[in-house]
Structure 1
C-alpha cells in the first residue's frame, strides 16, 4: 500500500506523470477533490464524533444511511429510525485520522478503541488509553474478515471493567466480504490496480464492475451483511451499562451510482458520505458471557488482511 506522504512527493508525482501522461487529468481531478474535501466540504458539513456527548460509540463499517433506515425496520433491535449524518470521510483511513486526530489529547487518554478495522496505523501519535486490535488475533481465514462476535466479546469485557471514560467499538460489517447468507461468494477476486486516492474500488466491487459478479447479487450481499452486526449490537446493548450510546458509521458505500462501487477516497457523494446516527442507552442485564481470546496468539500480516478486504 502506498504511503500518503509518498503519493504527495513532488518528484515522484512528476515521474508518474511522465510515465503516464494520459492519467494527468484524472490525477489532477482527485488532488483538487481531495483538497476540497479536506479543507472545505468536511469542516463545513461533517459530524465529528468527539464533538458529541457519549459514553460508547459503535461504528458500523461502510454502512449507508438508506441501508440502515431500510434494514432497521425489519430487525428486532429497538433503535427507531436513524438520523442522517455526514461522515468526515469516504474511506476508513481518513475517517480514523480525522476523527481521532481532532480529539483533545486528554480525551484520547481516557478513550479505549476496540476495532476490527485494519487501518489502526492511521491513529494519531497521541496515545489513546487503549487500542484493542481485534483484527490481529480474531481474523477468520474462511470469511476473510473479522466477524462481529469477537468485537462484541472484547467490547463487553472492556466496558464492564469501567477503566475508561469512553469506548469506541468498530465493527467491520456491513463492509464486504459477507459473513452470513452470502459468505464465501466474494473471495478470490483480484482488485483493481491503483493507489490510494485514485478512482478504484475494493476487490469485490471491482469484480462487480468487470461483470464477474452480478450487480444485484452484490447489492443483496451488502444489504444482508448488516443483519449479523445488528444481531450482535443487540447483545452488546443488553450487556453493558452506558447512559449514552451513539451508533453510526465511518462512511457509506456506492452501489452503482454514476457507475461507481465501493468507497473510494476523497468522495463527497451522499452514497459514501451520508451515514446513520442513533442515540440510545444500554443496561447490563448480564444475559451474555463474553468469550476469552488469546490476544497474543497471532500477529497477522496487515497487508494480507488488507488484500483480503480488497485494498490491493
Structure 2
C-alpha cells in the first residue's frame, strides 16, 4: 500500500468517525434506538439478507409477498446481533447461518437458541474461488429447508451472507484482487469506477433472490424476508459530506438502517413451542474462522 493510498484510507476513516459521533451523540446505548426488536415481530420464518438495501427489493419480481420496511438496530452485523441477541432465551428458534459473525461473538452475545446450524463451518458447503471462501445462496436455501423439515415447531431464522461481498459475479478481473474491495476503491488502489461496484452489488442481489424465492415458496406460515442492515454505495453522509461505501458501524442513515420487510403467508402457521438447547460447543479451528472472515472483508 502506497503512502497516498494509506493517507486516503485514514482520512476517510477519520471523517467517518466524525459522522458516527454525530449520529450517536444523543444515545446512551451502542445501537440504533429507533430499530425494531426482530424477535418481538410476528413471523414463523425470518430470512435475513446480509447488507441488503431496501431499494434492492423495491423493484424486484422474484419474491412473492408484500413489501414493507422496518428500521434495524444496527448499521453492521455485529451491532445488529448484539442489539437483538444479547442474553436472550431463544429456545423456540433455530438459527441457520452462512456468516461466521455469530460464532465469532457467541460468548459475548450469550444467546440460547434451540439449535444453531453454522453452514459456513463445513468445507463442503463453502465455495472457493480466487482465494475467497463463501457460502453460496443455493447452499443456504438447501440447509434452511432441511432445518424447517427437522424442526416444524420452531421459529426459523435464516441468515444468508449475500448480497454482502465477495461478489459472486465480478464484472472485471480487477475486482478479484482483494477481499476488501470497498476499502481498496476508497484508497485509490482499485482503479474501477463507482458504477462498476454498484453493478456488482446489484448482481449479487439478482443472483441471490431466485434461491431466496425457492426458500420462501417452500415454507409454510408467515415468512418475512429482511436484512440485518443495508449498504452504502457511494452516498454522501452527514454532517460531513464524505462519500461512503459498505456498512460502517454507528452510522444510522436511511441506506443502512431502513431494511426491507417482505411478508409472505401460505399454509398454516407453525405451532411454535420452546424446548431445551440442542446446540453443542462446536469446535472450529481458528484459522478457518479467520479465513472465512477475511473473505468477507474483515481483515483488521
The normalised TM-score by structure 1 is 0.74
Match of 1:94 among 58, 62, 79: 79
Instruction: Look up the match of 1:66.
Output: 55
Q: Tell me the secondary structure at the aligned position of residue 57 of structure 1.
A: strand
Aligned twin of 2:295:
308
Q: 2:246 aligns with which of 230, 245, 262?
A: 262
CA distance in 1, matches of 2:15, 2:283: 47
Shift of 1:131: 0.7
Give ranges in structure 1 of 5+ residues lacking alignment: 1-19, 191-202, 285-295
What is the Cα-based RMSD across aligned positions, in Å?
3.0
In 2, Cα distance between equivalents of 1:222 and 1:175: 8
Contact conserved, 2:30 with 2:250, CA < 8 A, in 1? no
Q: For residues 245 and 207 of structure 2, what CA distance do their matches in structure 1 show?
A: 22
Aligned to 1:47, which of 11, 22, 36?
A: 36
Q: What is the CA–CA distance in structure 1 between the aligned matches of 2:229 and 2:197, rounded to whole Å?
A: 18
- When residues 308 and 67 of structure 1 are mapped into structure 2, their CA distance, relative to the original with a 3 A threshold, is same
Q: 1:209 maps to which residue?
A: 186
- Name the structure 2 match of 1:253: 231
Partners of 1:219 and 1:118 in 2: CA distance? 25
Question: 2:113 aligns to what SS in structure 1?
Answer: coil
C-alpha separation in 2, matches of 1:127 and 1:297? 17
Work out the CA distance in 2 between the residues paired with 1:76 and 1:228: 11
Aligned residue for 2:272? Answer: none
Q: CA deviation at 1:268?
A: 0.7
Match of 1:78 among 61, 64, 81: 64
Preserved contact between residue 233 and residue 246 of structure 2 (Cα < 8 Å) = yes
- Counterpart of 2:198 (choices 219, 223, 228) is 219
Are the structure 2 counterparts of residues 114 and 61 from structure 1 closer, same or farther at C-alpha, using a change threshold of 3 Å?
same
Question: For 1:129, what is the secondary structure of its paired residue?
Answer: strand
Q: CA deviation at 1:237?
A: 2.1
Give the match's secondary structure for 2:127.
Answer: coil
**Match for residue 139 of structure 1 among 117, 121, 126:** 126
Alpha-carbon distance, 1:36 to partner: 4.3
Assess if the C-alpha contact under 8 Å between 2:94 and 2:114 holds in 1: yes
Aligned partner of residue 264 in structure 1, secondary structure: coil
* Residue range with higher mean Cα deviation, 274-283 or 60-69: 274-283
The answer to which structure, 1 or 2, has the higher relative contact order (CA under 8 A, 6+ apart) is 2
The answer for unaligned runs of 5 or more in structure 2 is 1-9, 237-242, 269-281
Q: Deviations over 1:30-49 (max 9, x none)?
A: 46745645639722x21221
Secondary structure at the counterpart of residue 76 of structure 1: coil
Summarize the Cα distance change of 1:38–1:179 in structure 2 as closer, same or farther, 3 Å threshold: farther
**Structure 2 length-normalised TM:** 0.77
